Structure 1
Amino acid sequence: MYDEHYGLTGRPFQLTPDPKFWFETATHRKAMAYLGYGLAQGEGFIVITGDIGAGKTTLVGHLMDTIDHKRLNAIRIVSTAIEAEDLLRIVATDLGVDPAGLEKAQLLTAIERGLHAVARTGRRTLLVVDEAQALPVSALEELRMLSNFQAGGQSLLQILLLGQPEFRDRLHGSDRLEQLRQRIIAIHHLDPMEEHEVADYIAHRLAVVGWTGNPDFQEDAFAALYRGSAGVPRRLNLLAGRVMLHAAVENLTLIDQAVVEAVIGDLDADLPTLALSVPDEPEAAPVTPSAPATAAAPAVDAALAARVAELESRVEQQDQALRRVLTLLVDWVESDTTRPDYAPIRGVANWHDAA
């Protein structure tokens, strides 16, 4: 709902990767340079790794938007622990070959025919495998075998592997993957963005959806956004989206550090596994009773009472926020002369969890 409140044409901080929001941080610029170099070689493996939410999928989406599809036939597979033969069947299907009833030797022959058919159109094939860390070694070995297919001294297939950091560890630590390692011609690890890149990242995504400066951001807000997300794009999108929602509910025109930290506090309470905490704040020492239960009872009762009071206060704050949301929605519906789209309203019940 905050997009309508601020007159935006879409949601700038959605979690679903969208290439139109591509923003080139320093680490993504290096990744594109390595990809460009690797694709120019036209053979072997290119490996891109990064933590969850680092932007690997967005990187691939941007790559698909920028490559010349008249010269490159791109096939994309999202791995979910696919066994070797199943992987071959998926590749065959994407090459236009029906794998039904084919044994492994027949599958390999059919895939080679499919690659030759693509080559006759003046293109070579790029196989993109996402979540490569989930592939068993046997499947990675089959990929290496596929990379052997050639025509006229030129490789018919090039492979881009994307995975989480443990995939890089597997590549370096497994003797069974030595031959694959020797075929890697470019490798890069996506790091989180730097603190100084956050402001430009936020401004870019807002500009894509028609932001005109409302709400404005105070400089200290970007430092808080960085601390709360550690520079990881997906975590930053989650935090920024909640900040925008909070600002819309409160009808704010300026977002500063205090606003961001208030949202971080709510997220820490609602989604503690994300650990979106501000590291500058010291943690309170845990209360650990060392005496028997009888002697510690007054202290425990006082702590319990304080906790209950804190929870009641939080529930009251959430109730107030929900009432403000409903008021905004009612105002929106009553001001619309045509029948409104009720889809946003159906999600209001879960706005606190889904925002």
Structure 2
Amino acid sequence: MYVDFYGFREHPFLMTPDARLFYPSSGHAHAYAHLTYGLAQREGFIVITGEVGAGKTTLIEKLCAQLDPATYAVARIATTQVGGDDLLRLVAHAFGVPSEGTKAALLQGIGATLRSSDVGGRRHLLIVDEAQALPLPAMEELRMLSNITDGGRALLQTILMGQPQLRRIIASPDLDQLRQRVLASYHLGGLSAEETHAYIEHRMRTVGWEGRPTWEDGTFDVIHRHSGGIPRRINRLCSRVLLSGALEQSDVLTLPMVQATAQELEEDLSSGADSAPPAPRGEGWDGRYGSGGGSSPYVEQVVRDLAARLDALERETARRERVFNRLMDLFSERAGRL
């Protein structure tokens, strides 16, 4: 809906990674440099970690889009909990090797495929996503695959992507030999407040944004605070803000609109636990909401807080009613055209 209202060519904030919308923040630019450096070494492992939604997959999509298919045979696997033998079958299948038969047959098939392509000058790159889910035996199988060589040249490079715990797993004494083969490693953090601002405008500009809608002062700071600078969280919040703006037919995305949308998302994803602060049991507390001689400072504060919450609730209710009425108008218009 908001794509048409604001005249975008497509959605600027989809959850699906899209290399076309890649934003080279300081962290992502450094991670990309580590990837290209690691690939230039033509052997070993490259490790990229980051929180869920930090942009690891988009980074890899960007890399793969730059690799020449005539030079690189790229295989990608996403893992959950698979053992060593099952991982080998996944690797074999990803490189077009028959995945049936014994473990020895799998290893022979993978080795033969790597050597045959090497004769023609193609390099093999294996990308393993969610690698933190791999058990130690599966990690050891990946290390053993890195031992496949021909004429002193390694025939396989591996990129391991995963959440922060992947770094702790690789640091395990049991994986010392694999760790010695890691040539480049980088951890992706969240965007800074300034990068969050630039990231939002970059994605919108890429899909045709020319200044409409405008973002009110302070809105980007709110988005950064609620998202922690994690790109996927930014996308989710911005998409909802744009939808609210389109429903209200507003050319300005206001600070209250962003704050209310961020609160809605938090409520949608929260467990529903009561967030009210517990009453203090310190000085002046007698087991009631007062100290026996009149209103306590705590009660006065509670009343002020309740009044503020009620005022905010009334404003939010009015906003949601406007959105609901707009939706009903849209449904009526479409029904009339059918």
TM interval, short-chain normalised: 0.7 to 0.9
Identify the residue that residue 166 of structure 2 maps to in structure 1.
167
Task: Give the alignment partner of residue 250 of structure 1, picking from 244, 248, 255.
Answer: 248
Matched, 1:99 2:121: no
Alpha-carbon deviation of 1:81? 1.3
Change (3 A) 1:256 1:321: closer
Change (3 A) 1:316 1:260: closer
Q: Supply the distance in 2 between the matched residues of 1:110 and 1:240 (Cα, whole angstroms).
A: 48
Are the equivalent residues in 2 in contact too, given 1:15–1:234 (CA < 8 A)? yes
Change (3 A) 1:116 1:28: same
Q: What pairs with 1:166-205 in structure 2 (closer than 5 Å)?
A: 166-172=165-171, 174-205=172-203
Q: Supply the distance in 1 between the matched residues of 2:27 and 2:181 (Cα, whole angstroms).
A: 23
Q: Supply the distance in 2 between the matched residues of 1:134 and 1:291 (Cα, whole angstroms).
A: 53
Are the equivalent residues in 1 in contact too, given 2:196–2:224 (CA < 8 A)? yes
The amino acid of 1:253's aligned partner reads: D
Q: Supply the distance in 1 between the matched residues of 2:186 and 2:313 (Cα, whole angstroms).
A: 49
Task: Give the alignment partner of residue 229 of structure 1, picking from 227, 230, 240.
Answer: 227
Alpha-carbon deviation of 1:330? 3.5
Q: Supply the distance in 2 between the matched residues of 1:205 and 1:178 (Cα, whole angstroms).
A: 41
Q: Supply the distance in 1 between the matched residues of 2:99 and 2:212 (Cα, whole angstroms).
A: 55
Q: Supply the distance in 2 between the matched residues of 1:326 and 1:114 (Cα, whole angstroms).
A: 60
The amino acid of 1:251's aligned partner reads: Q
Are the equivalent residues in 2 in contact too, given 1:228–1:264 (CA < 8 A)? yes
Are the equivalent residues in 2 in contact too, given 1:115–1:125 (CA < 8 A)? yes
The count of aligned residue pairs is: 320
Tell me the TM-score normalized by structure 1.
0.82
Are the equivalent residues in 2 in contact too, given 1:92–1:114 (CA < 8 A)? no
Identify the residue that residue 13 of structure 1 maps to in structure 2.
13
Change (3 A) 1:235 1:210: same
Are the equivalent residues in 1 in contact too, given 2:21–2:206 (CA < 8 A)? yes
Identify the residue that residue 88 of structure 2 maps to in structure 1.
88
Alpha-carbon deviation of 1:60? 0.9
Identify the residue that residue 39 of structure 1 maps to in structure 2.
39
The amino acid of 1:167's aligned partner reads: L
Alpha-carbon deviation of 1:17? 1.2
> Which stretch of structure 1 is more off in the superposition, 33-42 or 219-228?
219-228
Q: What pairs with 1:252-271 in structure 2 (closer than 5 Å)?
A: 252-271=250-269
> Which stretch of structure 1 is more off in the superposition, 131-140 or 219-228?
219-228
Identify the residue that residue 58 of structure 2 maps to in structure 1.
58
Q: What pairs with 1:12-161 in structure 2 (closer than 5 Å)?
A: 12-100=12-100, 102-161=101-160
Matched, 1:285 2:283: no
Q: Supply the distance in 2 between the matched residues of 1:93 and 1:285 (Cα, whole angstroms).
A: 55
Q: Supply the distance in 1 between the matched residues of 2:115 and 2:328 (Cα, whole angstroms).
A: 60
Alpha-carbon deviation of 1:324? 1.6
Identify the residue that residue 272 of structure 1 maps to in structure 2.
270
Alpha-carbon deviation of 1:273? 6.2
Unaligned runs of at least 5 residues, structure 1: 275-282, 340-355
Unaligned runs of at least 5 residues, structure 2: 291-298
Task: Give the alignment partner of residue 328 of structure 1, picking from 302, 327, 330.
Answer: 330
Percent identical? 40
Q: Supply the distance in 2 between the matched residues of 1:197 and 1:30 (Cα, whole angstroms).
A: 14
Q: Supply the distance in 1 between the matched residues of 2:46 and 2:268 (Cα, whole angstroms).
A: 39
Alpha-carbon deviation of 1:316? 7.1
> Which stretch of structure 1 is more off in the superposition, 12-21 or 259-268?
259-268
3-state SS of paired residue (2:266): helix
Which 4+ residue blocks in structure 1 deviate beyond 6 angstroms?
A: 288-293, 306-312
Q: Supply the distance in 1 between the matched residues of 2:279 and 2:265 (Cα, whole angstroms).
A: 23
Alpha-carbon deviation of 1:258? 2.5
Are the equivalent residues in 2 in contact too, given 1:195–1:223 (CA < 8 A)? yes
The amino acid of 1:324's aligned partner reads: R
The amino acid of 1:203's aligned partner reads: E
C-alpha distance after superposition, 1:126-145 (max 9, x if no partner):
00000000000000000000
Q: What pairs with 1:290-301 in structure 2 (closer than 5 Å)?
A: none
Q: Supply the distance in 1 between the matched residues of 2:217 and 2:325 (Cα, whole angstroms).
A: 30
Are the equivalent residues in 2 in contact too, given 1:249–1:325 (CA < 8 A)? yes
3-state SS of paired residue (1:219): coil
Q: Supply the distance in 2 between the matched residues of 1:176 and 1:326 (Cα, whole angstroms).
A: 61
C-alpha distance after superposition, 1:10-31 (max 9, x if no partner):
1111111111111110000000
Identify the residue that residue 293 of structure 2 maps to in structure 1.
none
Are the equivalent residues in 2 in contact too, given 1:48–1:189 (CA < 8 A)? yes
Alpha-carbon deviation of 1:288? 7.2
Q: Supply the distance in 2 between the matched residues of 1:70 and 1:162 (Cα, whole angstroms).
A: 24
